C-alpha cells in the first residue's frame, strides 16, 4: 500500500506545487524519486514528529496541502497534542499518513503495534479517518484526499498487500464499497484485512452461509446508510479490524446500531483485545494468533452464528 500511495502522490504532486511530502527521516526506499525530482516539495523533518506536525500545520495554513509520513504510531501518538491543537483546531489541510497499521511491524513489539490509532483519530474534531483495504483503494484514497478540505488520517499497510479489486471501484470518501452481496450475514472490514475477509466470505459460502462483504475504507465519516441496509437485510453483522475492539470500526458501527430504531441484528466485533500483545512475530503469525486471518474469522463467525450470540 505504501508504494501505491507514494506513486500516486508523486504523480499528482508533479502537476500540483501545493503538495508537500514531509517525512520523519525514513522511507527512503520508496520516497527517493519524490525527494530527488521534487526537492521544493519535500521536507525531511528528522526524527522529530512533533516538529514535523507543527511545521505541516503552518505550511497548510499558508496554502499548502501537506502529507506527513512515518511508521506505525509515530505520526499519531507522539505528536497528538500538535495534531489536536495545530491541525484539527485550525481545520488545516494536513494528511497524516501512518505506514504499518495494525501489527504490520509485529516483530518490533507493542511500541510499533498501531492498534489504538483509529480510536484516537476518530475522536479528533474535524478529522477524516481513512483505512484502505488494498493498493487500489490506497491510490484512490490518496487522490481523494488531495481534494478534501480539512485534516485527514490515512492508515496504510506496510508492503506486499495483495490487490483485491479486479477492476477500479466507484470510490468516494465516506461510502463503503460492496465487495460481494449476501443476505445471511454481513462482514464489514477496514484496512489491510480486506483480503482475509473476502477469503473468509468464500469459505463461509462453501459452508452454506451467504456473507455480504463491505470494505469500509472510511471509518469517519461512516457510511451509515450501508450499515443500516445491512441491519435490515441480513441477520448478523460482524466488524473485522486489525485494531483494538475499543474505539475503532466496531465501536463506530455499534454506535450506529445502538441508535437504530428497527430490529437489531446479531452483532460482534472481531479485532484485538484491549491489551498490549505479549507476543511478537510476523504480521501473519499475529493475525493467526488473534483469529484475524481467514480461518480465524470463519471460526469466530460460525461460533457466533451457531450459538445465536
At 269-296, the pLDDT tens digits run 999 999 998 889 999 999 999 999 999 9
Same domain, 239 and 188: yes
Task: Provide the pLDDT for residue 28.
Answer: 83
SS3 helix, strand, coil % of the chain, rounded to 5?
A: 40, 20, 35
Domain of 289?
177-307
Please tell me the distance from the alpha carbon of residue 32 to that of residue 18, in angstroms, as a whole number: 19
Q: Is the pLDDT of residue 87 over 60?
A: yes
Same domain, 27 and 142: yes
Overall pTM surpassing 0.95 (yes/no): yes
Average pLDDT over all residues of the chain: 96
At 206-265, the pLDDT tens digits run 999 999 999 999 999 999 999 999 999 999 999 999 999 999 999 999 999 999 998 889
At 53-70, the pLDDT tens digits run 999 999 999 999 999 999
108 inside domain: yes
Please tell me the distance from the alpha carbon of residue 11 to that of residue 87, in angstroms, as a whole number: 25
Q: Is the pLDDT of residue 184 over 60?
A: yes
Same domain, 64 and 197: no
At 115-174, the pLDDT tens digits run 999 999 999 999 999 999 999 999 999 999 999 999 999 999 987 899 999 999 999 999
Mean pLDDT score, 167-195: 97
Residue whose entry in the numeric block shows the C-alpha cell 496554502: 63
Buried b (16+ CB within 10 A) or exposed e, 28-42: eebbeebbeebeebb
Give the pLDDT band of residue 309 (cuts 50, 70, 90): low
CATH code for the domain in which residue 297 is found = 3.40.50.920
169 inside domain: no
43 inside domain: yes
Give the residues across from 267 on adjacent strands: 237
68 inside domain: yes
Percentage of the chain lying above the pLDDT 90 cut:
94
Amino acid at each position: 500500500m505504501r508504494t501505491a500511495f507514494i506513486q500516486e502522490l508523486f504523480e499528482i504532486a508533479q502537476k500540483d506545487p501545493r503538495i508537500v511530502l514531509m517525512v520523519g527521516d525514513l522511507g527512503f526506499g520508496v520516497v527517493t524519486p519524490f525527494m530527488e525530482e521534487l526537492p521544493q516539495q519535500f521536507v525531511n523533518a528528522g526524527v522529530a514528529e512533533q516538529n514535523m506536525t507543527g511545521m505541516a500545520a503552518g505550511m497548510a495554513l499558508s496554502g499548502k496541502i501537506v502529507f506527513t509520513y512515518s511508521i506505525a504510531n509515530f505520526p499519531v501518538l507522539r505528536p497528538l497534542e500538535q495534531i489536536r491543537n495545530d491541525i484539527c483546531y485550525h481545520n488545516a489541510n494536513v494528511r497524516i499518513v501512518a505506514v504499518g497499521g495494525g501489527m504490520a511491524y509485529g516483530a518490533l513489539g507493542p511500541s510499533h503495534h498501531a492498534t489504538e490509532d483509529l480510536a484516537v483519530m476518530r475522536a479528533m474534531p474535524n478529522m477524516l479517518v481513512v483505512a484502505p483495504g488494498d493498493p487500489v483503494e490506497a491510490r484512490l484514497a490518496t487522490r481523494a484526499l488531495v481534494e478534501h478540505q480539512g485534516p485527514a488520517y490515512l492508515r496504510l499497510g506496510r508492503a506486499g498487500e495483495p490487490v483485491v479489486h479486479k477492476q477500479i471501484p466507484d470510490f468516494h470518501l465516506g461510502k463503503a464499497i460492496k465487495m460481494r452481496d449476501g443476505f445471511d450475514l454481513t462482514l464489514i472490514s477496514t484496512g489491510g484485512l480486506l483480503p482475509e475477509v473476502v477469503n473468509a466470505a468464500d469459505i463461509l459460502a462453501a459452508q452454506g452461509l451467504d456473507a455480504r462483504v463491505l470494505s469500509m475504507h472510511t471509518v469517519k465519516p461512516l457510511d451509515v446508510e450501508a450499515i443500516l441496509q445491512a441491519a435490515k437485510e441480513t441477520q448478523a453483522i460482524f466488524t473485522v479490524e486489525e485494531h483494538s475492539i475499543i474505539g475503532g470500526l466496531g465501536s463506530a458501527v455499534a454506535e450506529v446500531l445502538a441508535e437504530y430504531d428497527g430490529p437489531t441484528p446479531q452483532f460482534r466485533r472481531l479485532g484485538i483485545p484491549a491489551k498490549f500483545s505479549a507476543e511478537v512475530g510476523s504480521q501473519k503469525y499475529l493475525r493467526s494468533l488473534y483469529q484475524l486471518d481467514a480461518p480465524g474469522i470463519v471460526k469466530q463467525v460460525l461460533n457466533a452464528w451457531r450459538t445465536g450470540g
